[in-house]
Amino acid sequence: MATRRDFLKGCLAGGAAAATAVLPETACARDTLVRPPEGLGLLYDATLCVGCQACVAACKRANDNPAEFTAMDNLWDTPLDTSGHTFNLIKMYRNGTMDTKDSELNGFSFMKTSCMHCADPSCVSACPVSSMQKDPVTGVVSYDPDACIGCRYCVAACPFGIPKYQYDSPTGKIGKCELCRHRHEDGHYSACAEVCPTGATLFGRTEDLLAEAKRRLALKPGEWTTVPRGRLPATGETPEAAAKWKGPVDQGYQAQVGNYLQHVYGETEYGGTQVLKLSAVNFQKVGLPDLPPKSSAASSETIQHTLYGGMIMPIAVLAGLTWVAKRNVVPDDDDKGGQS
């Protein structure tokens, strides 16, 4: 008599064989998508950040999000991580005596945690109902709660752990940074960049932000330089284009050049992101994942869509299960021809 283990092994083998038989040869990985030329984003410079959390408070106000308490007194908004109601957070790296800012040994540093707005976002690829969308012009990865079915595939797919489920929502919603796209029509850009007092968070076109990041990397640590605050005007920006934005633009803020790692995080990681980061402390130590230059969506999406397109995979698995079930059916007494 067949055991349960035999049945399960047979189910897996039968389903896999059937799926392989019907999988078209076209199920190969597509190319990783690239950032749109006019894509918008942020540049975060950890060496300029003082950990004031003004960006966290501004993000809460701009998105009408409630405070989250982790202390007993419930007096201050003290989230420990991003959540369905906290889209932006400044985390802290600590080591030893913490004597020196932006030092890995006996030092401390800050790191901004929010949506990276990937060029080829896994959350968009994984969403079965197109609740997650990437704008073809701005590149902003947006979320449509009306289309969302609460499956949380986006939560599982994101390598940065950014989309978070609002478990207190009666309808089931996802919360994440959308670069304050709802404020763009009124001329306001990302609230976190608007309020940053040191220019640690800068808003602009990603390609211009990348050029600014590389300019800083080329400077000598310790020397003084001028860094923009608020919004970085686009290269060749016309007065008409500049007039669209109401937020502050400060091109004369003086700051010392940090002892940067010679890498712009987000330039190539995961196919590139529209949020770029500079740091003097190892990026993995400040909480950022070590990712390849290719998005996993480039591999998984084509296979997933091929398997499920036209119900290929479900039909194949059902066929495999049916075949295995029939093979393992034990005849009852009536089917044994009256044998005693």
pTM to 2 decimal places:
0.83
pLDDT band at 319 (very low <50, low <70, confident <90, very high): confident
Q: H or E stretch including 191?
A: helix 191-195
pLDDT of residue 19: 47
Which amino acid would we find at residue 336? K
Buried-exposed string 52-69: b where 16+ CB fall within 10 A, e elsewhere: ebbbbbbbbebbebeebe
Of 26 and 254, the structure prediction assigns the larger pLDDT to 254
Domain 44-289: assigned CATH number: 3.30.70.20
Classify the phi-psi angles of 8: left when phi > 0, otherwise alpha if psi is within -120 to 50, otherwise beta: alpha
Find out whether 115 and 178 touch, Cβ atoms under 8 Å. yes
Angle at CA of residue 68, ends 62 and 71, nearest 5°: 140
- Residue-wise pLDDT for 37-70, tens only, equals 999 999 999 999 999 999 999 999 999 999 999 8
**3-class secondary-structure state, position 207:** helix
Q: Give 201's strand partners.
A: 44
Q: Is the pLDDT of residue 316 over 80?
A: no
Q: Where are the alpha helices (DSSP H) in 188-311?
A: 191-195, 206-217, 239-242, 297-308
* CA 252 to mean position of chain CA atoms: 32
> Per 3-state DSSP, what percentage of the chain is helix, strand, and coil (rounded to 5)?
30, 20, 50
Q: Determine the average pLDDT of the residues in 148-177.
A: 94
The overall average pLDDT reported for the chain is 88
Retrieve residue 115's tokens: 């949506």
Q: What is the dihedral of CA 21, 22, 24, 29, to 10 degrees?
A: -80
pLDDT band at 18 (very low <50, low <70, confident <90, very high): very low
pLDDT of residue 57: 96
Q: Give 202's strand partners.
A: 43, 230
What is the C-alpha R_g of the chain? 25
Domain boundaries, the chain: 4-31+298-330, 44-289
Q: H or E stretch including 17?
A: helix 4-22
Torsion sign (Cα): 161, 162, 167, 171: negative
- Residue-wise pLDDT for 208-247, tens only, equals 999 999 999 999 999 999 999 999 999 999 999 999 998 8
